[in-house]
């Protein structure tokens, strides 16, 4: 006889408001059972590297403009600095994965080649600094010198991550994270619907 009795989840109430509260409590209970999805330490680390590279590229663009507009440079030096600025915009686009073309461009999907390109941009920046007159522009020189070495360091970091095949690890983790988010959204819609 005890098995045939339906169990009550909530106390019965005479008012309709309490019935609605009970239903919303049940719904909230169902939704609270859906686990939260987190990116994880590794994906957060890769995102941090992306953000740092973008900020360094923006700093390098700023530094190159400071040199172009505040110092007297030869036409060749200005042209090379403009190419460096263009490369920095490509770096920002590659890190943000702006377009499908940048996402699928093989020199940026392979982190070894990305590291070589970043190191080249940094070394190019450092080489251009050797031609500057230090007496008038010491602060600009030091700023670009530090930024240049940071770009070289980020290039070395990407090169090492490429050697250890971490780009495939990142892709697998991102795919898994997106799949879990989609599953969570599907579950939420199922419980709401």
Q: Lowest mean pLDDT: which of 19-28, 98-107, 111-120?
A: 19-28
Tally of CB atoms within 10 A around 161: 19
Q: By percentage, how much of the chain surpasses pLDDT 90?
A: 41
**Average confidence (pLDDT) over 41-70:** 92
> Model confidence at 24, in pLDDT bands (50, 70, 90)?
low
Q: Cα separations (Å) of 132 from 28, 63, 64, 148, 150?
A: 65, 13, 12, 14, 19
Statement: residue 116 has pLDDT above 50: yes
Please tell me the predicted confidence (pLDDT) of residue 25. 62
Statement: residue 172 has pLDDT above 80: yes
Long-range Cβ contact pairs of 25-34 (< 8 A, separation 24 or more): 27/191, 27/192, 30/191, 31/188, 31/191, 31/192, 34/184, 34/187, 34/188, 34/191
Q: What is the pLDDT of residues 177-190, one digit of tens each?
A: 989 888 888 877 77
Judge contact between 170 and 43, C-beta under 8 A: yes
Task: Note if the pTM is more than 0.85.
Answer: no
Please tell me the predicted confidence (pLDDT) of residue 61. 96
Two structure tokens written together for 28: 């909230």
Q: What is the pLDDT of residues 40-55, one digit of tens each?
A: 899 999 999 999 999 9
**DSSP annotation string for 9-43:** SS---SSHHHHHHHHHHHHHHHHHTSPP----HHH
């Amino acid at each position: 006889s005890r098995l045939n009795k339906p169990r009550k989840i909530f106390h019965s109430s005479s008012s309709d408001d309490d019935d609605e509260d009970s239903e919303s409590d049940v719904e909230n209970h169902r939704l609270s059972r859906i686990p939260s999805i987190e990116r994880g330490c590794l994906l957060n680390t890769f995102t941090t590297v992306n953000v740092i590279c973008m900020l360094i590229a923006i700093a390098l663009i700023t530094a190159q403009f400071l040199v172009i507009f505040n110092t007297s440079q030869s036409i060749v030096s200005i042209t090379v600095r403009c190419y460096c600025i263009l490369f920095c915009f490509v770096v920002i686009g590659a890190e943000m994965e702006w377009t499908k073309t940048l996402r699928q461009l093989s020199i940026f999907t392979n982190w070894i080649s990305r590291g070589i390109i970043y190191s080249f941009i940094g070394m190019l920046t450092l080489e251009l600094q050797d031609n500057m007159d230090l007496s008038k522009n010491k602060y600009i020189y030091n700023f670009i010198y530090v930024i240049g070495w940071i770009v070289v360091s980020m290039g070395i970091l990407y090169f090492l991550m490429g050697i250890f095949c971490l780009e495939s690890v990142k892709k697998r983790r991102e795919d898994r994270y997106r799949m879990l988010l989609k599953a969570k959204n599907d579950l939420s819609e199922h419980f709401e619907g």
